[in-house]
C-alpha cells in the first residue's frame, strides 16, 4: 500500500478531495496544489516509483519463494488514488486469494497513517473472506538503517572537507496533527529512533535533530518545529551555514521531497545563505526492497 498520486492534472481535484475526506478544496487551494506539481515538472513521480518498488518486491519474493515454501503475488492499494486500497483487496478476492499480508511503503507507524491503511484493508478483506495480516512498521530494520547511514555519509562527503564536521543533520518526516501525542501514538518516538540509529551507524559526531515538514493547512496544531522555521532559527541563533536534510520518513521521490525540500526549503536556505544538501531517496535500493520482503515473510511465517 502506498499514498497514491494523480495520473495527470485533470485528476488533481479528485485526489485532493479524497485527501480532504470528500470536502472539495477551494479554487485557490486547488491551484496552489497544481502549481506545486507544475513546479516539479508537471509530473507525478510517486506513481512510477511505487510501481517500481512493487515490481522489485515481487522479484525479491519470487527469489525467496523456494525457501519460504509459498508463492507471493503483489497487488497495489493506494490511499488516495486508484487503485484504492479497497479496490486492491477486491482484486485479490476476484483472483481467488484467501490469505494476504499487507505492508505500507512507509516505515513508521501512526494511527493516522499506517493505521488507517490497515483499517481500510482489513475491513475490505473481512467482507471479501480474505484472511489478512499486516506489517505494522519497520523503522529499525538493520538494512533500512544501513541504507540511510550510507546515504547520509555519502552526502556529507560532498561538503568541503574542512566543514564536514560542522554540517547540521536534520531528519524530517511528514507532520501530523499534534493530537497524536495525546493518543500514545508511536510515530514521533519511531522517527527519533530511526534517526538516532542512523547517526549511531555512521559514527558521526555532528549535531543532529528532527524537524517536521509538509504540515496540512488546517486550523488544528501540527507537530513542530517545521523545517523552514528550523532553518531560520539555526541561521539566526546558532549561525549554522551548512545543513544536510535527510527526509527519513519517506521512501521515494514525490511532491513532498521534490517540492517541499528541493524547491521550498532550498529557496529558504538560499535566502539565509545556508548550503543545503539532501541524500537521494531510497526508491528501489535493493536494501529497502529486502526490508519489505523480510517483513512480509516474517508476518506470513507468524513472527513479523
- Which positions touch ligand FEC (CB under 6 A)? 3, 5, 16, 19-20, 33, 44, 46, 106, 112-113, 174, 176, 216-218, 254-256
Give whichever of 3 and 134 is closer to ligand FEC, judged by the CB atom.
Answer: 3
CB of 106 to ligand FEC, least distance (A): 4
Give whichever of 19 and 39 is closer to ligand FEC, judged by the CB atom.
Answer: 19
DSSP-assigned letter for residue 101: E
CB of 67 to ligand FEC, least distance (A): 30
φ and ψ at residue 291, rounded to 5 degrees = -60, -50
Give whichever of 217 and 273 is closer to ligand FEC, judged by the CB atom.
Answer: 217
**Measured between alpha carbons, how far is 49 from 43 in angstroms, rounded to an integer?**
12
Do residues 47 and 255 lie in contact, with contact meaning Cβ atoms separated by under 8 Å? no
Give whichever of 12 and 167 is closer to ligand FEC, judged by the CB atom.
Answer: 12
- Please give the full DSSP string across 31-66, using - where no structure is assigned: HHHHHHHHHTTS--HHHHHHHHHHHHHHHHHHHHHH
**Enclosing H/E stretch for 242:** strand 242-246
With the C-alpha atoms ordered 97, 104, 153, 204, is the resulting torsion angle positive or negative?
A: negative
CB of 189 to ligand FEC, least distance (A): 15
CB of 187 to ligand FEC, least distance (A): 8
How big is the chain, counted in residues?
A: 304
Give whichever of 131 and 221 is closer to ligand FEC, judged by the CB atom.
Answer: 221
CB of 48 to ligand FEC, least distance (A): 11
CA 62 and chain centroid, separation: 25
**Measured between alpha carbons, how far is 58 from 52 in angstroms, rounded to an integer?**
10
What would the grid cell of residue 267 be? 529557496
Amino acid at each position: 500500500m502506498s499514498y497514491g498520486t494523480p495520473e495527470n492534472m485533470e485528476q488533481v481535484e479528485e485526489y485532493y478531495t479524497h485527501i480532504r475526506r470528500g470536502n472539495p478544496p477551494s479554487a485557490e487551494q486547488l491551484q496552489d496544489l497544481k502549481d506545486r506539481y507544475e513546479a516539479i515538472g508537471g509530473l507525478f513521480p510517486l506513481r512510477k516509483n511505487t510501481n517500481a518498488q512493487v515490481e522489485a518486491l515481487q522479484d525479491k519474493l519470487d527469489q525467496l519463494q523456494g525457501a519460504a515454501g509459498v508463492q507471493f503475488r503483489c497487488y497495489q492499494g493506494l490511499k488516495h488514488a486508484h487503485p484504492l486500497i479497497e479496490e486492491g483487496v477486491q482484486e485479490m478476492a476476484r483472483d481467488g486469494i484467501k490469505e494476504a499480508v499487507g505492508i505500507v511503503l512507509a516505515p513508521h507507524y501512526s494511527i493516522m497513517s499506517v493505521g488507517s491503511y490497515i483499517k481500510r484493508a482489513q475491513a475490505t478483506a473481512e467482507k471479501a473472506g480474505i484472511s489478512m495480516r499486516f506489517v505494522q512498521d519497520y523503522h529499525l530494520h538493520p538494512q533500512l538503517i544501513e541504507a540511510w547511514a550510507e546515504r547520509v555519509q555519502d552526502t556529507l562527503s560532498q561538503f568541503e572537507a574542512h566543514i564536514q564536521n560542522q554540517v547540521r543533520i536534520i531528519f524530517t518526516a511528514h507532520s501530523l496533527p499534534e493530537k497524536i501525542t495525546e493518543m500514545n501514538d508511536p510515530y514521533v518516538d519511531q522517527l527519533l529512533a530511526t534517526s538516532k540509529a542512523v547517526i549511531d551507524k555512521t559514527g558521526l559526531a555532528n549535531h543532529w535533530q528532527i524537524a517536521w515538514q509538509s504540515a496540512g493547512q488546517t486550523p488544528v496544531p501540527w507537530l513542530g518545529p517545521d523545517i523552514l522555521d528550523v532553518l531560520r532559527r539555526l541561521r539566526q541563533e546558532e549561525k549554522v551555514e551548512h545543513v544536510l536534510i535527510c527526509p527519513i520518513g519517506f521512501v521515494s521521490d514525490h511532491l513532498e521531497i521534490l517540492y517541499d525540500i528541493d524547491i521550498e526549503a532550498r529557496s529558504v536556505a538560499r535566502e539565509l545563505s545556508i548550503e543545503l544538501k539532501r541524500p537521494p531517496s531510497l526508491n528501489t535500493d535493493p536494501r529497502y526492497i529486502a526490508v519489505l520482503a523480510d517483513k512480509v515473510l516474517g508476518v506470513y511465517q507468524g513472527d513479523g
